[in-house]
Structures are given as structure tokens and as C-alpha cells.
Amino acid sequence: MKKRYCRKIIPVILLALVLAIIFRTSLFASYIVNGESMEPTLYDGNLLMVNKVVYNLTDVDRFDIIVFHADEREDYVKRVIGLPGDDIVYKNDKLYVNGEYVEEPFLDPFKEVRDGKPHTEDFTLEGVTGSEIVPEGKLFVMGDNRRESLDSREIGFVDAGTLVGKVDVKYWPVSEMQLSFG
């Protein structure tokens, strides 16, 4: 009786393990935040779960937090600010997309700790990228810690083809667990 039970349960366990591995490697990826560019939203050492398939099903939205391949060795975590066709301007610490003011409530913790300097220096898209609008197939990204972020203001547009996915879960440290950033 015990042998018969083992013969039935072992294939089920093996199938579950294989499916879990396939699910984990093809649908989600785990990332560690490296640096301070996304503070106060994400901190150095936070562990993230990145949804690798969401952009096969939906479009990238403004303010999504994404992971993308910056080069062959490094991946960056940044926030989408500009989508294809957008004209981006920062003036007096405020974001204007296509001439319309757009609030960024996720920056409030930084703005509360004012030191007399703007959180985001004034710029125009053309001034930092040479382009009047975000080109098709590209994104304009920035870190939430605008003073300490290597982002599209320096590296230019991010090719949508380099996206790894959308950050859906911050799971470490457990005390800061967050399930959605939208």
C-alpha cells in the first residue's frame, strides 16, 4: 500500500517542481536594488519581484517602476516618466507632460525635506536628449531620488526592447513589503 502511494505521489511532486521552476524563470524574476536612485520608494538592498510578461499583455504606463538592461552587465530600476510621443518639461520642481502639469505624489517624502533646492532641476526633453518628443519604441525614465539618479537625463532614452519587466512586489525586508506600485 505504501509503495503504491509513493508511486502516485512522486510524479505529482516532480510535476509541481518542474512547473514551479518554469513559472519562476519565465514569468517572474527576482532583483536586488543596488544604489539610492529610487529612494524613498525603493532602498539599496530591497528585494523585488519583477513581472516579465505583463508588457506582452499591456502597454507600459507612466509612473510604472521598471527594470531594464542598461548594458550587457547591468540592469537598472527606474520610473517611467515619458512615453512615446510625450514632450517632457520640468519647471519649478513640477513635471509637465505635453504642456499639462502632472502630479508625482510618490515624491512627497523628498519634497517634505526641503533644503531650499529643488528636488528636480529644471530641464526640457530637448535640452537633455536633443529630441523634442520621446521617440516611438523608447521611454524616458528617472529615479525618484532625482539628485542622485543616473537616468534618461544622462543615458538618454531607454529602448522598450531592453525591458525586463515591471516591478510588482517588494518583498524584502518583510517589514517594508509592498505588493503594487501603481
Q: Is 8 a catalytic residue?
A: no
Task: For residue 122, give the DSSP letter.
Answer: -
Cis status of the peptide bond prior to 109, with omega within 30 of 0: no
79 close to 38: Cβ distance less than 8 angstroms: yes
Rounded distance, CA 67 to CA 69, Å?
7
Q: Which of 2, 8, 78, 138 is catalytic?
A: 78
Q: Is 78 a catalytic residue?
A: yes
Q: Which parts of the chain are beta strand (E)?
A: 28-32, 47-51, 65-69, 75-82, 88-91, 94-97, 100-102, 123-124, 138-142, 158-159, 163-172
Q: Which of 30, 37, 138, 170 is catalytic?
A: 37
Using alpha carbons only, what angle is made at residue 45 by residues 50 and 26, rounded to the nearest 5 degrees? 20
Residues with a known catalytic role: 37, 78
